[in-house]
Amino acid sequence: MAKLVLIRHGESVWNQKNVFTGWVDVPLSSNGIKEALNAGEEISATEFDVVFTSLQIRAIETAMIALAQNKSSKTPTVIHDEGKMKDWTTIYNPEMEKSVIPVYRDWHLNERYYGELQGKNKAETAKEYGDEQVHQWRRSYDCPPPKGECLKDTAGRTIPFFEESIFPHLKAGENVLVSAHGNSLRSIVMFIENLTKEQVLGLEIPTGKPIYYEYKNGKLEKENK
């Protein structure tokens, strides 16, 4: 049975400041680093075959910090797909090449784009536009913020990527770690668990807390830990 573990990145500096972040590429806070370490300890016994992250540093940091706690002797290694970095990161030792856990970064797993809300304080934005309007922008399925993405838009890129790039590894019996964001993971969980638009409104994915699935009998089943 293959295992899938989803982790929302640890608390970022802008999470801490209660600011809409979206695609702004900010790092983890000191508390976020602790959350990533705790997540890594929790999943330390699972040997992963492949890792996927977004392009954003908070998700990459979380994956690498978590994997630093892993009991596997394999080394997580960022895969570069083009240019000189592709050529010059070639591993010429077959033994070491076998000991690598490939880490693939892809924009399809990026956080929901918050458009003109990015960089704005959430509480101040609620005062400006009203609590109900901001709640709709943040939690609804198909109501985007000004010039941004709604969850439906995010799902339009995350779900095809999951089906085409991640799911085949599970079918092949490989253990997969995905480190991404609250909304990109909400859309993936919605797909895996076949949630309705109404059910996904109440879905909250906490920072730094692993979510576990097993692939068996041709489908993904959630594990409660």
Q: Which domain holds residue 29?
A: 2-114+153-223
Q: Distance of alpha carbon 100 from its chain centroid, rounded?
A: 21
In tens, the pLDDT along 87-127 reads 999 999 999 999 999 999 999 999 999 999 999 999 999 99
* CATH number reported for the structural domain that contains residue 213 in this entry: 3.40.50.1240
Q: Is residue 27 part of a domain?
A: yes
Is 124 annotated as catalytic? no
Q: Would you place residue 202 in the very low, low, confident or very high pLDDT band (cuts 50, 70, 90)?
A: confident
pLDDT for position 139:
87
CA–CA dist 206, 219 (Å, integer): 24
Q: How confident is the model over 168-196, as a mean pLDDT?
A: 97
Binding annotation: 8-15, 21-22, 58, 111-114, 122, 138-139, 182-183
Task: State both tokens at 189.
Answer: 């969980």
Q: Is residue 45 part of a domain?
A: yes
Q: Is residue 119 part of a domain?
A: no
Q: What is the pTM of this model?
A: 0.96
In tens, the pLDDT along 118-170 reads 999 999 999 999 999 999 999 889 999 999 999 999 999 999 999 999 999 99
pLDDT for position 225:
74
Helices 151-161 and 182-192: angle between axes, nearest 10 degrees: 70
Binding annotation for substrate: 8-15, 21-22, 58, 111-114, 122, 138-139, 182-183
Helix intervals (H) in 29-76: 30-42, 57-67
- Mean pLDDT, the chain, rounded, equals 96
Q: Which of 42, 111, 149, 181 is catalytic?
A: 111
Is 214 annotated as catalytic? no
Number of structural domains, the chain?
1
Write the CB contacts of 179 (distance below 8 Å, at least 6 apart in sequence): 7, 9, 51, 52, 53, 54, 59, 60, 62, 63, 66
